[in-house]
Chain A
Amino acid sequence: MGNTTIRPLAIWAAAAFFAAGCDKKTPTSVDAGPPVPISMAPKEPVGDSVRGHAAIEKYECNRCHAVEGIVAAAPQKHCVSCHTEIVEGRFVAKDPAKTAEWKASVHDLDVAPSLIAVGKRLRGSAVVDYLMLPHDLRPNLAANMPRLGLSRSEARDIAAYLGATSEEDAVASGDPSAGRKAMESKGCGACHAFSGVAALPATPPVVAMSAKDFSAGKRLAPDLRYARDRMTFSKMVSWLRDPRGTKPDTKMPAIPLSDEEARDIASYLVKATQEVPALVPFRRLPPLERKVTYAEVDAKVFHKTCWHCHAEPDYAIGDGGPGNSGGFGFPARKLNLASYEGVAAGIVDDKGERSSIFSPGRDGTPRLLEALLARHREEEGAANGPVRGMPLGYAPLTAEQIQLVESWISQGRPR
């Protein structure tokens, strides 16, 4: 396993595992309006790439992402490669029934975008902002980038290591309305959403692709509304001309475009008037009247999502996952959501003392509930509060799941 740098992750299968039910914001909007100035992000000081390397190791980015110059995490720690093996049927347990059972229950985090050639694609400031407050970029990918405990200067160092330091840009030139037309005819909408403008038609792409490649490409395709903040105009043009020349492992196909077409498209991506989607704040449901037992909460919440990061180390060969034994740069909180007693035993707090996850916060909300609600606020764009949003790196729980947890707590947590 002593391989050197990039471990190419064969993570692109999983056609059948489409993320269902992702929020598709309804685009309400107009076409390219009057040209607007290119967003001018304030210059971010440049970080230190040597420290960036160390930070990537500290935060274990290599458990999910392929990163140039960083060895992939060990197989028993690598969230994405183990899940890929399971989904593709390559993780063979001695007991074949297990292989089948796991295959049926793993649906997410079998793929994450690689961090190859980040500097050739993204602005430094955009990478730093994203690392500080990540949000859902890819509407067809259920897993999210977790909100880690990075400081801004560590984020800058990481951006420097990834080569994302420049903000230099050429002046946007090109015809946005011709760009819009080109996008419609070239089939960009088959993979990409562009929320905030009139929906792109889902015309099939003009290049031949296998069903497997297409499905992988669609899952990994970002919502194009963020492109103008993430990329400079010049980087966008070179990306469109030659995605694979920019990032060898990309799942975006090379779609033949003339230089003029690429500029037209880029100018549309940069200048199109985008309607800001109306923010629908999360609404809680009233507590249930019927009795809610631990068994139900366990089956629908703890065992479904949480337990994989909050397990009992005695049974998990010494590592109870990042939310128990520590990981992704977090200290060991020792929260075990695998059993009733574990849930009752709480977390190790910042003072190093055990405290209950049911203890009421400032407004009386139990800490566990607060964590679930905080995850919704994170996706609404809020900064980190005193309690980190859970489930970390996954979509927020549904209103029904949160209602279930809240009802169980208010009923005295019956077994």
Chain B
Amino acid sequence: MKKALFAVAAAAAVLSAGAPRDAAACGGALWEERVFVPKPSPPKLVAQAEKDLEGGNPRKALANASSAYGDLAKAEPGADNLKNRALRISALAVVRSKGELKVAGQKEATPQERLAWAAKKLEALSAKAPDNPTVEGDLGEGLAAAGRDLDAYGHLAKLADKDLLGTAEGYSALSRLQFAAGLTSKSAKSLARCEAMASDRAVCGLAKAPEKKVAEKAKAEDAKKGTAKPGTKFDPAVFAGDLKI
């Protein structure tokens, strides 16, 4: 009993304070809520950064991950899982900005060098979490962006075969690699998966979906009529990553 309580206290100390969405999970989760006042804290910032990345905003994602941890440029994956998540976000933010974004503390580098940095970090993260399809999918995406096509293809194709590739970005990269290898029908299939999964078809290198334009037009009209109240509208993109706690 004593041991169990100690473990919770220790974990809470690592997480330092507060609790994002998952802290309400019922396996022994929200005990720390009694002890700490939730305010912007590494867990909240990291959760927010993940939501930003999902929502297609790598710049904001990187900013939030970096305010949780200031030394991501030099960080290596370690025992702090939350920091590992922050590192993943920073690497993917670089990948999804095509090397435009720079992680705080990094020396001057070309986009290509930054992409190589991101791929290295994703490789290290993947080595720490073998057999985790999410991490492996990210690695495939990162390797493809860094031009390491053969390595990328191995990971992405394996995951897609098992239906474990969980991002539209991953399918988009796979589709490009398959096309380059002359596997046109497989490439088309991957592109279709990308399109089905993505909330924004631009992720798949496709023109914006007409339905989105319609939605935007409707939104603009709402705004003109003055009926749109910010924050009260159901916005799936925001909701999906909503902080529950």
**Stretch binding the partner chain, chosen from A202-210, A211-219, A318-326, A379-387:** A318-326
Distance, CA A358 to CA B166, complexed state (A): 12
CB–CB A295/B239 < 8 A: yes
Least CB distance, A338 to chain B, in whole angstroms:
5
- Is A294 interfacial (CB-CB < 8 Å)? yes
A82, A324, A353: most-surrounded residue (chain B CB, <10 A): A82
CB–CB B196/A413 < 8 A: yes
Which residue of A has the minimal Cβ distance to B244? A303
CB–CB B33/A94 < 8 A: yes
B22, B43, B82, B193: most-surrounded residue (chain A CB, <10 A): B22
CB–CB A317/B236 < 8 A: no
- Residues in A with CB closer than 8 Å to B23 are 315-317
- Is A299 interfacial (CB-CB < 8 Å)? yes
CB–CB B197/A413 < 8 A: yes
- Residues in A with CB closer than 8 Å to B8 are 76, 317
CB–CB A316/B25 < 8 A: yes
- Residues in B with CB closer than 8 Å to A392 are none
- Residues in A with CB closer than 8 Å to B202 are none
- Chain A residues within 8 Å of chain B by Cβ, number: 61
Q: Which of B27, B85, B134 is within 8 Å of A345, CB to CB?
A: B134
Distance, CA A10 to CA B205, complexed state (A): 58
CB–CB B34/A356 < 8 A: no
CB–CB B34/A320 < 8 A: no
- Residues in B with CB closer than 8 Å to A341 are 134, 137, 166-167
Q: Which of B27, B131, B193, B236 is within 8 Å of A322, CB to CB?
A: B27
Distance, CA A303 to CA B25, complexed state (A): 10
A296 with B236: in contact, given A312-B25, A354-B162, A414-B196 (CB under 8 Å)? Answer: yes
A320 with B25: in contact, given A94-B37, A340-B54 (CB under 8 Å)? Answer: yes
Which residue of B has the minimal Cβ distance to A317? B11
Which residue of B has the minimal Cβ distance to A356? B163
**Stretch binding the partner chain, chosen from B13-21, B67-75, B114-122, B223-231:** B13-21
Distance, CA A98 to CA B25, complexed state (A): 14
Q: Which of A311, A343, A354 is within 8 Å of B22, CB to CB?
A: A311
Distance, CA A308 to CA B237, complexed state (A): 22
CB–CB B164/A345 < 8 A: yes
CB–CB A312/B134 < 8 A: no
Q: A53-94 toward B: CB 8 Å interface, digit per residue (1/0)?
A: 000000000000000000100111101001000000001111
Q: Which of A95, A296, A320 is within 8 Å of B33, CB to CB?
A: A95
CB–CB B168/A345 < 8 A: no
Q: Which of A76, A293, A298, A303 is within 8 Å of B29, CB to CB?
A: A76
CB–CB A315/B47 < 8 A: yes
Supply 14 further A-B pairs (C-beta < 8 A) apart from A74-B5, A340-B240, A344-B134: A74-B4, A79-B26, A294-B240, A298-B240, A311-B29, A315-B29, A316-B27, A316-B29, A339-B241, A345-B164, A353-B131, A354-B164, A413-B196, A414-B197
